[in-house]
Copies of this chain bind each other. A is one copy, B any other.
């Protein structure tokens, strides 16, 4: 808000609206360390917002230096101008830092994809083993979504980094016919976009920022969900990076708790309600919202904190992720070949027709399950199968590495999109 006030004084001097000599005394006082935050907070209870006591305190500070200049503090502006533009000015470095960290995350994910494009693991649907995939493919899905989240947040900058400056009712009346010139100069000084008109009670930019953060958090939550599921003791395919005191349990020395993922999933639990608050706050009354505008004041910062924290934790996890290819291989064998029944069925279908092949495999799979035998052995004993497929054929068909479809093409497409 102080950056807004300082730039406003400069812009108004530049456009001849306030005397040039008023600028320096104002600018000199626009330093946060001169203000008593506790006192401002308390005064805001009665005034209804933080800008009113801030302007009052700023005016008092300037007055000490230069009585006349103090008359030009906040000239022609309204509280919401300072609050909204102040928010936007805080969003800028936040969004830049987020973009930077997202860049690092995408790079770390890219390494993961490249290192594990051939690390075969089981794909799971409905939490059930389905067909083989590679860990590189799973990570390529994470990367592809993280790239989209980054694009979305970059586009957002053009939308949300926009000056709010409208005066008491959005007409800049107090500046006479100079309002637009001042607004343009102010936007230029703050390096913000000049909107077609003030957006004091049109809050879609703010809600869109919240939605973009919610989408990022959801994407990070997907990674965290996969990691925690793969970290289960019974699965053990992935582990969050270890460290002294990290994720340990005071009573169970062998556990590796997914503490970073828990923080990310907590963010993913919190974000939807916060985005909903911002959307619900959109129908603001007339020329300034009442209650709904005020709800934004905590909801959007909460989302920023959650997004920043979730991203930092995810970056840390992805960089140090332990990938246990041995456990992945073991888990591929859990169903004793059943997850590759489809591979055999497709091969058999080409020779016997789809229907008979389907029925044969259904019978064989159930038998394997019932008798606790490997599907390979059951299949070999079925004459109709044996007539169509050799033992080597069956072995080959039941090798997970041989039934990955266009996994590598999909991975290439994700990587190429980035290069």
Task: Give the interface segment out of A24-32, A45-53, A96-104.
Answer: A45-53
Q: Decide if A193 is an interface residue (CB 8 Å cutoff).
A: no
Q: Decide if A294 is an interface residue (CB 8 Å cutoff).
A: yes
Q: Are A169 and B234 in contact (CB under 8 A)?
A: no
Q: Are A173 and B258 in contact (CB under 8 A)?
A: no
Q: How far is the CA of A251 from the CA of B409 in the complex (A)?
A: 22
Q: Are A173 and B342 in contact (CB under 8 A)?
A: yes
Closest chain B residue to A171, Cβ basis: B405
Q: Decide if A157 is an interface residue (CB 8 Å cutoff).
A: no
With both chains docked as a complex, state the minimum distance between the C-beta of A262 and any C-beta of chain B, in angstroms.
5
A252's partner among B133, B290, B342 (CB-CB below 8 A) is B342
Q: Are A295 and B283 in contact (CB under 8 A)?
A: no
Q: Are B171 and A404 in contact (CB under 8 A)?
A: yes
Q: Decide if A91 is an interface residue (CB 8 Å cutoff).
A: no
Q: Decide if A39 is an interface residue (CB 8 Å cutoff).
A: no
Q: Decide if A225 is an interface residue (CB 8 Å cutoff).
A: yes
On chain B, the residues within 8 Å of A258 by CB distance are: 126-128, 290
Q: Are B180 and A257 in contact (CB under 8 A)?
A: no
On chain B, the residues within 8 Å of A262 by CB distance are: 48, 126, 290-291, 294
On chain B, the residues within 8 Å of A244 by CB distance are: 46
Task: Give the interface segment out of A6-14, A274-282, A382-390.
Answer: A274-282
- Give the one of A70, A131, A369, A414 with max B CB within 10 A: A131
Q: Are A338 and B266 in contact (CB under 8 A)?
A: no
User: How many copies of the shown chain assemble into the complex?
Assistant: 4
On chain B, the residues within 8 Å of A249 by CB distance are: 125, 128, 130, 168
> In the complex, which residues 243-291 of chain A have their Cβ closer than 8 Å to any Cβ of chain B?
243-259, 261-266, 268-277, 279-288, 290-291
Q: How far is the CA of A23 from the CA of B415 in the complex (A)?
A: 35
> In the complex, which residues 157-215 of chain A have their Cβ closer than 8 Å to any Cβ of chain B?
159, 167-177, 179-180, 183, 195-199, 201-205, 207-208, 211, 214-215
Q: Decide if A74 is an interface residue (CB 8 Å cutoff).
A: yes
Closest chain B residue to A297, Cβ basis: B266
8 A-B pairs with least C-beta separation: A265-B291, A218-B282, A273-B273, A123-B169, A48-B259, A125-B288, A269-B295, A173-B405
23 chain-A/chain-B pairs, Cβ below 8 angstroms: A46-B259, A71-B354, A126-B258, A127-B233, A168-B251, A170-B410, A171-B406, A196-B417, A207-B218, A211-B275, A221-B282, A221-B283, A222-B283, A225-B283, A232-B232, A252-B342, A253-B365, A254-B366, A254-B368, A262-B290, A263-B294, A266-B292, A272-B277
Extra inter-chain contacts (12) besides given A126-B288, A138-B287, A176-B346, CB under 8 Å: A46-B244, A47-B247, A71-B354, A123-B171, A124-B169, A148-B159, A171-B410, A172-B405, A183-B406, A211-B279, A218-B282, A251-B342
